[in-house]
Amino acid sequence: MRVIISKNYEEMSKKAAEIVAERLRKKPDLVLGLATGSTPVGMYKELIRMHKEGNLDFSKVKTFNLDEYCGLSPDHPQSYHYFMWENLFNHININPANVYIPSGDIENVEAFCKWYEEKIKEAGGIDLQVLGIGRDGHIGFNEPGSSLTSRTRIKTLTEETVEDNARFFEKKEDVPRYAVSMGLGTIMEAKECLLLANGANKAEAIQKAIEGPVSASITASLLQFHPRAIFILDEEASKNLKRREYYRYVERMAQKLKER
């Protein structure tokens, strides 16, 4: 695991975008796993900027989003479909046919989830999965108690998640209680994972995810088993880490190696 600690949200976003851009330049038909929420917005802005400056081509990229609320149509302003087009896709040269986001408003959810998993396989698997983290330690909507080998399916949101996401809705009662989410097994098959976290309210979940025992109670902790997981944090989100200085030292040493 690589733990990169940045000064603030802006630096975290820039570093994350640089990693995505670097992978994309190496592999123009990159298969990107994407996340919603407030955390990756800065990274998306940075990717849009790079694209507009002519430095980043998304024409061959395929994307798979982690999750979507149940019961919201794609044009609902709080749906993750809407979010992704607003915050990224409308501003880059992605082929709409290459965009995959779970559907939250279909009849046969089970068949849909199977189809979604098939599509990821057909694309050759996800090269780089971008992740956020919930205060309850979730990645995607894999709430505490999720099977560590789960696949895309319906999840019931915890009260904590509903409360956290209520800020995007008029009132708490409007927050959907269910979501379709990639499973932990799905996420773990990505070739590389990039988890972003900022703010003091994520510090506890981050400490448990990186330094605590691997447990279904903090599903992000499963990334300890991932061969290529990168955490990019701001100062605040990193403040509870017991080996914080060591992670900084490792990054400095890695930089020295590169410069040799």
Which are the catalytic amino acids?
67, 136, 138, 143
Size of the site for ligand PGA (CB under 6 A): 7
Q: Does the protein bind ligand PGA through residue 42 (CB under 6 A)?
A: no
Q: Closest Cα partner for 126 from 225, 27, 214, 208?
A: 27
Q: Does the protein bind ligand PGA through residue 183 (CB under 6 A)?
A: no
Q: Give me the residue whose beta carbon is nearest to ligand PGA.
A: 37
Minimum CB separation from ligand PGA for residue 210, in Å? 16
Residue window 207-226: x/- pattern of binding to ligand PGA, with contact defined by CB under 6 A? --------------------
Among 22, 28, 38, 59, binds ligand PGA (CB under 6 A): 38
- Alpha-helical (H) ranges within 27-99 are 41-52, 80-87
- Two structure tokens written together for 72: 């919201």
Q: Does the protein bind ligand PGA through residue 133 (CB under 6 A)?
A: yes
The Cα-based distances of 226 to 67, 137, 153 in angstroms read: 20, 16, 21
Distance CA 91, CA 85 (A): 8
Q: Does the protein bind ligand PGA through residue 37 (CB under 6 A)?
A: yes
Among 6, 13, 15, 39, binds ligand PGA (CB under 6 A): 39
Q: Does the protein bind ligand PGA through residue 132 (CB under 6 A)?
A: yes
Distance CA 77, CA 106 (A): 18
Distance CA 198, CA 9 (A): 6
In three-state secondary structure terms, 38 is: coil
Which residue lies nearer to ligand PGA by CB, 61 or 179? 179
Q: Does the protein bind ligand PGA through residue 181 (CB under 6 A)?
A: no
